Structures are given as C-alpha cells and as structure tokens.
Amino acid sequence: MRFVDEFRDSDKAHALAAKIAALCEPGREYKLMEVCGGHTHTIYKHGLEDYLPEQLTLVHGPGCPVCVIPMGRMDDAMALAAQPDVIMTSFGDMMRVPGSNGSFFDAKARGTDIRMVYSPLDSLKIARSNPDKRVVFMAIGFETTAPSTAMTILRAAAENLDNFSVFCNHVTIIPAIKAILDSPDLRLDGFIGPGHVSTVIGCRPYEFIARDYGKPVVVAGFEPLDILQSIYMLMQQLAEGRSEVENQYARVVPWDGNMVALRAIGETMELRPYFEWRGLGFISHSALSVREQYAKFDAERLFSVPGVRVADPKACQCGEVLKGVLKPWECKVFGTACTPETPIGTCMVSPEGACAAYYNYGRLTRTRVKEATRS
Amino acid sequence: MTGNQAAGHPAGWVAEALRAHDEQDPAGRTERPGSPQPAPGTVREEMVLDRIDRARRARPRVKEERITMSHGAGGKATQTLIEAVFLNAFRNPLLEPLEDAARVHVNGAKVALTTDSYVVSPLFFPGGDIGDLAVNGTVNDLAVSGAVPLYLSAGFILEEGFPVESLIRITASMQAAAQRAGVQVVTGDTKVVERGKADGCYINTAGIGLIEYAGPLGIAQARPGDAILVSGPIGDHGVTIMLARGELDIEADIVSDTAPVNGLVASLLSKVAGVRAMRDATRGGVATILNEIATAARAGIMVIEDQIPVRPEVRGASELLGIDPMYVACEGRVVVVVDGAEAEQALAALRAHPQGEQAAIIGKVTADPPGIVQLKTAFGGTRIVDLLVGDPLPRIC
C-alpha cells in the first residue's frame, strides 16, 4: 500500500539499526523518551525494539490523552452523563477508563445514554437530531485534538445550537514534559518529540529543552521507520555533543505550527490555572477550559459536577509509568490484577497506554524473541 | 500491600483482584518495584511474565455486574463469560472442547450439532444480508467440524413494524444460500416483540450434519511443526459491514465474503490426510482463532505478517480506523492447521477450489512459548498477537 509500506521497509530498518549501533559508545547506557503514546503504540505494534542495541532503552512518556485523565474527572463525566436528558458522546478509547464507579461501558450497561463518536462533529449531528436532549461531548486530548473541539464549538455557535456542550479535558504537552524534566527520578538522554501535537504547535516550544536542559529533541512521525530515523538523529546529536530541536516529521510538521488551528483554540479556550494529571499530580497552566464568551457550550458551567479529587487505587503505579520511572512490567499489579480486561489504571486502557501496548504486543523479553525467531 | 489499602476503590473486584494477586505468588512478592534489584532486568522481567502466564491460566470470573457490549465481541470478555457462566452451568464432556460444533453419537452415527444467532446491523450489506449470513454461518460451523451439513432450523425474532417485504427478501436469500450449501431448513419458529425491543430482525439457526471424516479434528490436536493456512483474504466481512453503516464516510469497493465453505473443506479433507483442525474465522477474526489454537494445544504460534492475505481496501480502511485486520471478522474463510509435512499439499488443495484461490500458508505451530501467538511484523520486528478484550465493531454478524 502506497505511503505506508515505504515507511515499514525492513531493509531500510536494518541499515538504520546498524548505523544506530555504530553510534553507541561502548559501556554507555542510553535512555530516550518517546513522549507520545502514539509512538509507544507503533514501537510495540511493529516490534521496533528488536532493532535496538541492548544499551539503548526507550522510556515511555506521558503523551497518552486517555492515560492522564484523573479518576475525579472521570467521575465528573459519569455524573454529567447521568443527568436527565443528557446524551454523552465520547471517543471509543475513553469507554473503558475506570472511574470510582466503573467505566462508561458499565454506565451504558446500566442504561446511561453514552454514544461513541469518531469526531466531535458527530456529536453536533446527534444534537441536531435530538433537540429535546442535551448532548455533552467528552473532550480529551492534547493540542492534537483541541482544534477539532474548538472548531466544533465554533460551528455550534454559528448554528446557534442550544443543546450541545463540551466537557473540556484538553491538556497541553509542554508543562508535562517540563514536569518530567524537573523530576529527580529520571535521567534521560533525549526526547522523541510528539509528531501529532507538533503539527499544531510546531517545533519552537521544545527549544527550552535543548537550550535549558541540554537534551536533544527530534520531532518524529508515526511509522516505524520515522521513529527509527529519529532515534538515529538523536544518537547523532549525542555522539556530536549537540542538543538541538530537529524535525524528522517535516513532511507534516511545520516549524511554526498551524496558525489556523492555534487561533481556533485561542478563540474558544483558555489556560486553566492548574489541572490534575493522573500520576503527575497538579500541574499549573497545563490544561484548557472553554472561554467565558462560549459559556453556553461549557458543560462545566451548565451542569454541576462533583469536582472532587479521587485518589487512584494505591496499588496502581500509572504515575510512575507515565513519568517513565517504571517500565510497565515493573508495576506491582501489571498483568495479574491489572489487565486490559479489568484495568485498574488508565495506562492499561488506551491502545496508546504503555501498559496496554506492552501487555498486548510486547509481553516477550528480547531474549525470548531471539529464541523464538531462531526456531 | 493488603486488600484493605485498595478499599478506597468502591469497585470491589479491585480489592479482590489484588488479594488474589498476592496469594498467587508470595515468593515473587519479595521484590519491590523501583528498589535495587538483585537479579538482572531480563531475569526479573522473565519472572513477571511467568507470573502473568499463571494469572492468565487462573479460573475465569466475570467481574462486571452487568453485561457490556464487550461480552459479545468474541474476545477475552466473551471467552470469560462462556467459561465462567455457560460452561460452568452446563459442563459436560461434549461441550467442554468449546469447538464450533458438538460431536455427538446417535445410534452409532457421528453427528455434529451447532447453533448461532445473527444480529448484524445493517440487515442488508454489499455481498449479502442477514439471511445468507445465518445459513452460511451455521453451515460453516458444521463443515469445519468435519461434518457434511444436512438440516437447519431457523428462528426469527421480529420487531413490530418490520416490513414484510424485507422479511421475504431475507428468507429468499436464506433459501438460495441453503441450496448452494446443499442443506434444507426443516423447522422454525417466529416471535414478535414490541417496537423498540429489537432491531428489525434477529435470526437464530441451528444445524446438524453427519461426520464421515474418520480422523481426529480439533484445535487441541495442533502440535509443534504444524503449518497454519488461511483459505483467502481476511477481514472482508467486518470492514464491509462497518462501511455499510455509513457512519464513517469512507467508501471502498468491497463486499462481504459470506459463503458456505463446506465444498472447500470437503475437497481439502479428501486430498490431505494430515489436517488437524479447521475453524471459520468469524467474530474476533484470525487472531482470535490463533489464540484459541495456542491455548488449546498448549503450544506457541508464529505467524508472518507479510504472508497473511489482506485486500488493499481492507488494509486501507483498517489503517485509517486504527484497527488490525487480524481481528476483523470473515464469514467465508477457514483457518487450517495441518501437519507441516503436508503444508504444500494442503495449500495446493485449497487453491484448486474456486473459494481458496488466494489461500496462503501464514505461519507455524512452535513448542515455545506455550499459549502465545507471535507475529513477525512486515517491518521485521516481533510482537504478540493477543485476544482483544472487546471489539471496535459490534454487531458484525
């Protein structure tokens, strides 16, 4: 298939892998963080780690929108969905996220009207065809999905729809990266930058990472060769003692971002003073809410929600996993009490979550893989 | 860590799961994550993986209080429901193998018996409708059990207000499918429920067939060295249904593969002696079948992504939607496990039949690691192909 197979070519992968191995200094351990959950998914789905030398470890970062939604927000969403005449709409990957009283799926089974949509605009369709209902869209995601929520709000305003609102849980990536850089637990050598987020915000916002923290950043695409190439670019920077922001995904990511998308976000949303992230705690200026001007589309203003902070189950170590401090399998309950079927934490829910990716695709040590492929 | 510490989580099963987890392997609990580890990383990882293997073999329990859509998706949740509720209630040696059809002896004759219900939405789709699906599905369950399908029953649950014209269209296509497969619908039932209590028309069919094939057939028969084949491109039916719903605004020139496979299967069995097992890859797709084989045979499976036939339209739609064709339903494809020495013969036999022209050898059964399906990706890496919990595409058949 064109535009896909070219980026999965195993001959090119072998060549890149050899170049990466040649750049490794003997005896030095390398830790690179892929910030974005989409990258984590690609890495496991294609078995990319098989190409990496033993001394190079990929650390999975916080860029999984579903994973960072805290339990309390999930409970708020459930409370919204349970209000009379409400139809809650949500992306499919939120359906399984556990709140303190089960997931959307469980609520749906109890009779709550929760519908899966592929785009927030589908929620508008539902709102138009159900004028006697109040449709609430569960908006999640980084700057990647925020523009589509923003455009939906603008469209609803243009149509003067009065039965549509957004439960806004959009978060921003830079404060999360900064929280990780400031965390004492982790020593990282560089970052594989989030490609989709960067199509919106561009590459400039990462410059502080290279400048102030001395870590190289390479914004990468989502095919396996993209990631392998970005690892090679990071290793080159490390070998040459450079720390810069480079753009491997130039075919999609403009250096200055997408002004139209940024304007739509700016028009409809503003930064919250602080927001709770699962595992990372409260981070200031790290999330978006709907602006006053669009208050009639803001579910938080229209409905009362409990707004209570709910602690994760103690056994859940999603926070450590999201920060990259623990590998998924190092979590105490990984794969035994916490599985994709009965997830305790969010990292096991989303296909972009490190735990789900590792459980579904990677539950083999590299030694096991070598044995299996030999036989 | 005790169960009490998780008591803040009102979902009681969390506390229970943690307790079970602690009891399961007290020896493995001496190490704390994050603390300095005596054993090197790979050894520790190996220990964790072994612990997971044991957890996966533990007796299945349904933890949800109510049925969710996942329980009907054909993946892990369905399997848990079947084992924890149905098998638990009806347990007997004929049911226990959980094959596509039960094999029973009646007065010295070997008979295969099966049943299946159809709730597909939409009722009519490119390449077929709920009617031929209901006949083919049951015919295929009998055929892959090594039986010659003979007689079918048909039960209809109709919603008040359903157009009679649609019902006539459905029954006509059932009759055509039955004739093509060489079976007869010989008994039936009709129920009507109030508007809103069903979605138009649901059909249940049951079928019996005569087992003339002498050899043992069953997924537990698979052993290391065996080859795994599919009879044609996978995922056509599931993707067709999804696009036919029109929610995605994607168009592709693709039709359901719904077809009876009894002719194909009979021709294979007549030419190749070493067939160990056959399955029709419906809900949950080829990946689910492979996992069932690996579990039943306590063997590993290695499949090669490059060798799995997938139409470009199916691959394209799946790429766009972020789903894996390996999990997408087929309605006229068979997964075959055959003695490795006869792999080429089996391939030739399948390809000689019009329904098997695009058959392929996609992998092999390995000794290790037991119960795990591995995929050699086209990119050159290796990964696991696990059962899905739910299904991104409900009501596919």
Cβ atoms of residues A117 and A90 within 8 Å: yes
Confidence band, pLDDT 50/70/90 cuts, at residue B90: very high
User: What percent of chain A is modeled with pLDDT above 90?
Assistant: 67
Task: List all residues of chain A from 285 to 344 with a beta carbon under 8 Å from chain B.
Answer: 311, 313-315, 317, 320, 325-327, 329-342, 344
* Interface contact A344-B14, CB threshold 8 A: yes
Looking at residue A200, its amino acid is V
- pLDDT at residue B128, as a whole number: 96
Residue of chain A whose alpha carbon sits nearest to that of B51: A336
To probe the interface with B, which of A9, A46, A346 has the most B CB atoms within 10 Å? A46
For chain B, the residue count is: 397
From CA B313, how far away is CA B116, in angstroms rounded? 29
Q: How far is CA B134 from CA A215, B113, B115, B121, B171, in A?
A: 60, 15, 10, 13, 10
B222 conformational bin, left if phi > 0, alpha if psi -120 to 50, beta if neither: beta
Shortest distance between the Cα of A323 and any Cα of chain B, in A, equals 13
From CA B367, how far away is CA B353, in angstroms rounded? 32
Question: Distance of alpha carbon A202 from its chain centroid, rounded?
Answer: 17
Q: How far is CA B105 from CA B206, B222, B277, B370, in A?
A: 17, 24, 20, 32
Q: How many CB pairs lie under 8 A apart between chains A and B?
A: 188
From CA A210, how far away is CA A190, in angstroms rounded? 9
Q: Copy the structure tokens of residue A241.
A: 């003692």
Q: Copy the structure tokens of residue A35.
A: 């910030």
Looking at residue B189, its amino acid is D
CA Rg, chain A, in Å? 21
The DSSP secondary structure of B353-376, one letter per residue, reads SGGGTT-EEEEEEESSSTT-EEEE
Q: How far is CA A112 from CA A104, A107, A125, in A?
A: 9, 6, 19
**Interface residue B49 vs chain A (CB under 8 A):** yes
Confidence band, pLDDT 50/70/90 cuts, at residue B2: very low
* Interface contact B300-A118, CB threshold 8 A: no
* Interface contact B64-A325, CB threshold 8 A: no
Confidence band, pLDDT 50/70/90 cuts, at residue B60: confident
Average pLDDT over residues B92-117: 94
Does the pLDDT of residue B94 top 70, yes or no? yes
The DSSP secondary structure of A128-145, one letter per residue, reads HH-TTSEEEEEEEESTTT
From CA A153, how far away is CA A293, in angstroms rounded? 11
Does the ipTM exceed 0.90?
no
* Interface contact A10-B379, CB threshold 8 A: yes
Chain A residues closer than 8 Å to B59 by CB: none
**Interface residue A109 vs chain B (CB under 8 A):** yes
Q: What share of chain B is helix, strand, coil (3-state, %, to 5)?
A: 40, 20, 40
Q: Which of B57, B25, B45 is nearest to B371 (CA)?
A: B57
pLDDT digits (tens, 9 = 90+) for B338-391: 999 999 999 999 999 999 999 999 999 999 888 999 999 999 999 999 988 776
From CA B370, how far away is CA B300, in angstroms rounded? 5
Burial of residue B160, with CB atoms counted within 10 A of its CB: 0-12 exposed, 13-18 middle, 19 or more buried:
exposed
Residue of chain A whose alpha carbon sits nearest to that of B60: A341
To probe the interface with A, which of B2, B19, B48, B368 has the most A CB atoms within 10 Å? B48
- pLDDT at residue B322, as a whole number: 80
Average pLDDT, whole number, for chain B? Answer: 88
Residue of chain A whose alpha carbon sits nearest to that of B380: A10
Residue of chain A whose alpha carbon sits nearest to that of B66: A109
Cβ atoms of residues A219 and A194 within 8 Å: yes
Looking at residue A116, its amino acid is M
Taking the CA atoms of A126, A128, A130 and A135 in sequence, report the sign of the dihedral they define. Answer: positive
User: Is B109 in a helix, a strand, or coil?
Assistant: strand
Residue whose pair of structure tokens reads 């916490």 in the numeric block? A338
To probe the interface with B, which of A51, A123, A330, A371 has the most B CB atoms within 10 Å? A330
Q: Copy the structure tokens of residue A323.
A: 């920060």
- Helices and strands (DSSP H and E) totals, chain A: 15, 13
Of A6-20, A305-319, B167-181, B322-336, where does mean pLDDT reach its minimum? Answer: A305-319
pLDDT digits (tens, 9 = 90+) for B218-240: 999 999 999 999 999 999 999 99
Task: List all residues of chain A from 5 to 24 with a beta carbon under 8 Å from chain B.
Answer: 5, 8-10, 13-14
Confidence band, pLDDT 50/70/90 cuts, at residue B321: confident
pLDDT digits (tens, 9 = 90+) for A265-287: 999 999 999 999 988 889 999 99
**Interface residue B392 vs chain A (CB under 8 A):** yes
Average pLDDT, whole number, for chain A? Answer: 91
Does the pLDDT of residue A126 top 80, yes or no? yes
B370 conformational bin, left if phi > 0, alpha if psi -120 to 50, beta if neither: beta
Q: Which long-range contacts (CB under 8 A, 24 or more apart) does B13-17 make?
A: B13/A342, B13/B63, B14/A313, B14/A315, B14/A337, B14/A344, B17/A333, B17/A336, B17/A337, B17/A338, B17/A342, B17/A344, B17/B63
Burial of residue A132, with CB atoms counted within 10 A of its CB: 0-12 exposed, 13-18 middle, 19 or more buried:
exposed
Task: List all residues of chain A from 121 to 180 with a beta carbon under 8 Å from chain B.
Answer: 122
User: Is A304 in a helix, a strand, or coil?
Assistant: coil
pLDDT digits (tens, 9 = 90+) for A194-250: 999 999 999 999 999 999 999 999 999 999 999 999 999 999 999 999 999 999 999
* Interface contact A359-B378, CB threshold 8 A: no
**Interface residue B266 vs chain A (CB under 8 A):** no
Beta bridge partners of B116: B205
- pLDDT at residue A317, as a whole number: 87
Half-sphere exposure of B248 (CA within 13 A, CB side): 16
C-alpha torsion angle, residues B387, B388, B391, B392 (rounded to 10):
-130
**Interface residue A38 vs chain B (CB under 8 A):** no
Taking residue B266's Cβ as centre, other Cβ atoms within 10 Å add up to 16
Task: List all residues of chain B from 297 to 336 with a beta carbon under 8 Å from chain A.
Answer: 300, 302, 312, 315-316, 319, 322
Partner-chain residue, chosen from B48, B80, B384, that has the shortest CB–CB distance to A362 = B384
Beta bridge partners of B335: B230, B279
Looking at residue A271, its amino acid is L
Does the pLDDT of residue A372 top 60, yes or no? no
Average pLDDT over residues A28-42: 94
pLDDT digits (tens, 9 = 90+) for A183-204: 887 789 999 999 999 999 999 9
Taking the model in full, what pTM does it have? 0.86
User: Is B293 in a helix, a strand, or coil?
Assistant: helix
Average pLDDT over residues B276-295: 94
Cβ atoms of residues B227 and B343 within 8 Å: yes
Chain B residues closer than 8 Å to A337 by CB: 14, 17-18, 20-21
Taking residue B215's Cβ as centre, other Cβ atoms within 10 Å add up to 11
Chain B residues closer than 8 Å to A10 by CB: 378-380
- pLDDT at residue A343, as a whole number: 86
Taking the CA atoms of A85, A86, A87 and A93 in sequence, report the sign of the dihedral they define. Answer: negative
* Interface contact B9-A100, CB threshold 8 A: yes
C-alpha torsion angle, residues A325, A331, A334, A338 (rounded to 10):
-100
Residue whose pair of structure tokens reads 């029953």 in the numeric block? B153
From CA B391, how far away is CA A116, in angstroms rounded? 13
From CA B69, how far away is CA B62, in angstroms rounded? 14
Average pLDDT over residues A325-336: 88
**Interface residue B110 vs chain A (CB under 8 A):** no
**Interface residue B48 vs chain A (CB under 8 A):** yes
* Interface contact A311-B8, CB threshold 8 A: yes
Shortest distance between the Cα of A227 and any Cα of chain B, in A, equals 12
From CA B311, how far away is CA B263, in angstroms rounded? 23
Does the pLDDT of residue A92 top 70, yes or no? yes
**Interface residue B344 vs chain A (CB under 8 A):** no
Task: List all residues of chain A from 188 to 247 with a beta carbon under 8 Å from chain B.
Answer: 224-225
Cis peptide before B122 (omega within 30 of 0): yes
User: What percent of chain B is modeled with pLDDT above 70?
Assistant: 88
A27 conformational bin, left if phi > 0, alpha if psi -120 to 50, beta if neither: left
Burial of residue A279, with CB atoms counted within 10 A of its CB: 0-12 exposed, 13-18 middle, 19 or more buried:
buried
From CA A190, how far away is CA A216, in angstroms rounded? 5
Of A82 and A92, which is predicted with more confidence? A82
Cβ atoms of residues A78 and A260 within 8 Å: no
